Structure 1
């Protein structure tokens, strides 16, 4: 009988380094889509706070907690990332396990926003796109969610089927920014 092995979406592709930027795959834990029922957003917010210590996000924001995050993904939609959802959440929202559907990577380093500026139509510089900001946008031709999780760290979520393309696009942009920095400073692009 054949032996099957589970692999991550970016298996064998990451980590990568270019200049002062690092790209690495993240194991986000469980990913559960949340859609509150009619008039249930307040109840869902309370249930999320009670169960996971994070609330329902406003558009364009993410609530980043210790071991749990709720990331806005669209009108009346968000994702609980990290823990398995507490059953009480189902009283206020439709829940769908999305754990195997996403490739999740972190782009770190001060030049990360500059590399992404070549790929996305959103200003991701830290003074504009602060920690906890999130955007559902296009990266090239791929639909992605981008969330700032730290001063120099952006979390990018793309559909699992696009993992190879995601890494290729990011690697190319990172290498070009690093090469330009090397020309500007006279240093190799590492």
Structure 2
């Protein structure tokens, strides 16, 4: 009989935690992720359903934390919604039930690797990797950018905390880039 075991995006059984100087990189395997897009002409209906279900739909370039759902804007009338994996493993199904046919919902959990970065000052690391002026953008800022050759989403959780969403298939490459930038900032 086959015994299957889930592996993280980095190919391990448990989440990776890497510390380089003051920087801590934590792989987040405890999050479920889905994309939500308003169907044409149904934005108001989606907003009402989302409010009733406790699903935030933040404005452009913004992230909004909540419980159990948090979300960030990805494109006009589109968001990524996340929740704890333990209670929302079937997040897409749960969101479809809550939002009805006013939204198109797709499962995204296994398509992305999620890294949380924490340090007193993240700007030196991030300015080596992408074109986001981390010091200038406000808490709750969310954007799509490029790190190395990878398209990623960056969410500023706080001055000393950022969450990165990168393609799962390039998880090791993204981690390597983060480690290299951390080492080079000394």
Same fold, judged at TM 0.5 (above): yes
1:53-64 paired onto structure 2 within 5 Å: 54-64=55-65
* 1:73-119 residue CA offsets vs partner (Å, 9 max, x unmatched): 12322111114234131321000011110100100012322101111
> TM-score when scaled to structure 2?
0.87
Query: Size of the alignment, in residue pairs?
Result: 175
Q: What residue in structure 2 maps to residue 26 of structure 1?
A: 28
Q: Is this contact kept in 2: 1:112–1:174, CA < 8 A?
A: no
Structure 1 segment 81-100 matched on structure 2, within 5 A: 81-82=82-83, 83=88, 84=91, 85-86=94-95, 87-100=97-110
- Structure 2 regions of 5+ residues with no counterpart? none
Instruction: Give ranges in structure 1 of 5+ residues lacking alignment.
Output: 180-190
TM-score normalized with structure 1 length: 0.85
Alignment map for 1:120-139 (pairs within 5 Å):
120-125=130-135, 128-139=136-147
Which protein shows a greater Rg? 1
Give the equivalent residue in structure 1 for 2:173: 165
Does the alignment pair 1:103 with 2:105?
Answer: no
Quickly say closer, same or farther: Cα 1:96–1:165, change in 2 above 3 A.
same
Instruction: Please say if residues 34 and 79 of structure 1, whose CA atoms lie closer than 8 Å, have aligned partners that are also in contact.
Output: yes
User: Residue 133 of structure 2 aligns to a residue in which SS?
Assistant: coil
In the alignment, the residues of structure 2 paired with residue 124 and residue 154 of structure 1 have an alpha-carbon distance, to the nearest angstrom, of 9
Runs ≥4 in structure 1, deviation > 6 angstroms?
Answer: none
Of 151, 155, 174, the residue aligned with 1:147 is 155
SS in 2 for 1:138: strand
- Per-residue deviation, 1:28: 4.6
Please state whether the residue corresponding to 2:143 is helix, strand or coil. strand
Across the aligned residues of Structure 1 and Structure 2, the Cα RMSD in angstroms comes to: 1.7
